[in-house]
Structure 1
Amino acid sequence: MTFPAIDPVFLRIGPLEMRWYGLMYILAFTAAYFIIGYAVKNRNISLSKDGVTDLVFAVAVGIIVGGRLGYILFYNLGYYLANPLKLLAVWEGGMSFHGGFAGAVISGILFCRKRKLNFLEIADIGFLTAPIGLMFGRIGNFINGELYGRVTDMHWGIVFPGGGNLPRHPSQLYESFLEGPATFLLIWLIWRGKRPAGSVLCGFIACYGMFRTIVEFYREPDQQIGYIAGIFSMGQMLSLPMFIAGTAMFIHLNRKTPPSLKGATST
């Protein structure tokens, strides 16, 4: 199967270009605003509409800054040390989920401290929206023809531009489904079950770590890194600990909290 000829730019107005990947970010943050707004009302958390907007903006900044720094540190530090002028060239690509995750957590903590809110409650609501953003982001990766999978003989394999003449796994679409709808369903059930504060966050960490670790077996490792210990990718080295830690924290949190307190929220 040949990769569909999708122009990464969906709109041109004079010298201005609007890319599908950028649109995916806009869609993700827009969806986050409405989901967070619904969840805040549902749980009677004292956060106004303006507060929701401020939260989404703060986390968006954390994701973008953290995602960029994470990519530089984890995936291509040598290149950026040799080319420091490229550090801010985000339009050329180079974002890391794990860095974005750290940036979102840090910005969320700072936001909650300033507003005197319970961080775990807000994190549960915020990360309820994360699978939506991941789904859109992976679709953007597919449209760009980047982060493709390993060579395969499966009939749905795709010949990607820049990936040689052999068909490869459309690993971006695997990730889009598993990190998106599949993860959302699981953590939504956790949220609807009114588990202790922090359960959705831990559930998301565990689900993402598990699904990313699995999909990495089908995804082509980063060329500048290759395999670690001859078998693992950098994505797996960062994601497997997330699965273990998220699972352990979820179990600990739900054992620690008495049933009568599960689902309790502050106002």
Structure 2
Amino acid sequence: MTDHAWFHSINPVILHLWGSFSVRWYGLSYLAGFVLGFLILRTLARRRLTPLPADRALDALMLLVFGVVLGGRLGYVLVYRRELLWSFDHHLPYWGALKIHEGGMASHGGMVGVVVAAYLISRGFRQPDGLRTGRAPFLHALDLTAFIAPPGLLLGRLANFINGELLGKIVAQPGQPAPWWSVRFPQELTSKHAPPLTDPQSDALADLIATHQRAGQPAAEALDAILARAARAARGDHAIIEQLRPLVSARHPSQLYQAFAEGVVLFAVLALLWLTPRRPGTLAAAFLITYGIGRILTEFWRLPDAHLAQQTIAGLSRGQWLSAAMILAGLALIPVIRRQNLPAMGGLLRPAPLPADPSR
């Protein structure tokens, strides 16, 4: 049978700067997500769907940026990679916990940071005269952050795909034919998710490494150089791909599944829900429930993080349990929304009148 799987050969580095610093698709995806979030937020403000003044949209976004980055990185380190807390080397920024440019963000941690940022946004922004403008119910601020989040989540998952990280489950072992929708990620060869190779395949990999290995160079470093060559195949070096193809398994592109669920589906649900004015907190609850369901479902095609000592608990990954907690939080928010009984706000088709600014 013919192998129809696509071989992943996307270079995660756009431009190398100096040392270990480069412009990467991963960082660019976050930047693009923040820009899109700003544009959406400013549009909502200009259409008077929110008390947030349009000229304060950038200030609100900066709070969200700090919330996402700090919460996302802290969540990743504390939940998935605690060893980074005591990992130090001689390369900037020296501390492993600060090496965001190498990847490693937890979406659940980022959401906690967003909640803190939403609280600060709800308090309004101080004017030169000492008064605050743009005060809004905390639940409405949560709605705003929920509505602008899906584009960033979509781009973040696409960056995961480009990086060849958060691998999906295997659909065909190395050397076996695979369906057209599957992807062969050579990055698995340097991960703990690499499947066992047959003796001939192991010999072929050892020969490939020996061919490209410099005198005194560790085998792992030589393999990294080989994978870097594969990532440059788009510029004409395809021979290395044909050597690697029979040594790499074919997998579900789970990053793309999650990009669709957390980006496209989630944004569609929120947009449809907000076509008419809703009580503050409605979008936030819908976000928690929809994201949680989508994450739990798509994680069945994704492998748990290999560096975790206990990868599953009662058959579910850590991400699935955190997502289940999000669903419960969304359900718990519904009676809070009813009890608050705040006037409906927003409405993409028929915006509701804004409440009077209490600072004026």
What TM-score comes out, normalization by structure 1 length? 0.90
Q: Which residue of 2 aligns with 1:34?
A: 39
- Once the two structures are superposed, the pairs formed by residues 64-213 of structure 1 within 5 Å of their partners are 64-77=69-82, 79-83=83-87, 85-115=95-125, 116-153=135-172, 155=179, 156-163=181-188, 164=194, 165-213=248-296
Aligned residues with identical type, % of pairs: 36
Letter in 2 for 1:3: F
Structure 1 CA distance, aligned partners of 2:22 and 2:343? 52
Mapped partners of 1:135, 1:44: distance in 2: 24
Cα drift, residue 247 of structure 1: 3.2
Letter paired with 2:116: I
Q: Which has the higher helix share?
A: 1
Contact 1:199/1:253 (CA < 8 Å) preserved in 2? no
More strand by share: 2
SS of 1:60's equivalent in the other structure is helix
For 1:221 and 1:82, the matched residues in 2 are separated by: 23
Cα displacement (A) at 1:137: 0.5
Whose relative contact order is higher, 1 or 2, with alpha carbons under 8 Å and at least 6 apart?
2
Which amino acid in 2 is paired with 1:141?
N
Structure 2's unaligned 5+ residue stretches are: 89-94, 126-134, 173-177, 189-193, 195-247, 346-351
Partner of 2:355: 266
Amino acid in structure 2 at the alignment position of 1:25: Y
- What is the distance in 2 between the residues matched to 1:254 and 1:117? 15
The structure that has the greater radius of gyration is 2
Please say if residues 196 and 257 of structure 1, whose CA atoms lie closer than 8 Å, have aligned partners that are also in contact.
no
Corresponding position of 1:3: 7
Q: Which runs of 5+ in 1 are unaligned?
A: none
Paired residue for 1:60, among 65, 81, 91? Answer: 65
Letter in 1 for 2:79: F
- What is the rounded CA distance, in whole Å, between the counterparts of 1:97 and 1:128 in structure 2? 16
Distance 1:179 1:82 in 2: 33
For residues 54-78 of structure 1, what are the alpha-carbon distances to aligned partners after superposition, in whole Å with 9 as ceiling and x for unaligned?
001110111000001101111122x
Instruction: Say if 2:334 is the partner of 1:245.
Output: no
**3-state SS of 1:192 partner:** coil
| Structure 2: distance between partners of 1:7 and 1:215 | 25
| 1:152 aligned counterpart, secondary structure | strand
What is the deviation of 1:248? Answer: 4.1
Contact between 1:128 and 1:187, CA under 8 Å: does it hold in 2?
Answer: yes
TM-score (norm. length: structure 2): 0.68
The separation in 1 between residues aligned to 2:51 and 2:85, in whole angstroms, is 45
Distance 2:15 2:85 in 1: 34
- Following the alignment from structure 1 to structure 2, what is the Cα–Cα distance between the partners of residues 83 and 18? 23
Aligned residue type for 1:237: W
1:247 to 1:13, Cα distance in 2 relative to 1, 3 A: same
Larger displacement relative to structure 2 (239-248 or 137-146) = 239-248
Q: Are residues 243 and 185 of structure 1, via their aligned partners in 2, closer, same or farther at CA, if it must alter by over 3 Å?
A: same
Distance 1:185 1:88 in 2: 34
Alpha-carbon distance, 1:127 to partner: 1.4
SS at match of 1:17: strand
Q: Aligned to 1:95, what secondary structure does the other structure show?
A: coil
Matches within 5 A, 1:16-35: 17-35=22-40
C-alpha deviation, 1:239, in angstroms: 0.6
Amino acid at match of 2:276: G
Question: CA–CA distance in 1 between the matches of 2:317 and 2:120?
Answer: 32
Query: What is the match of residue 235 of structure 1?
Result: 319
CA distance in 1, matches of 2:169, 2:124: 46
Contact 1:9 1:17 in 2 (8 A): yes
Q: How far 1:257 moved relative to its partner?
A: 6.9
Equivalent pair of 2:86/2:96 in contact (CA under 8 Å): no
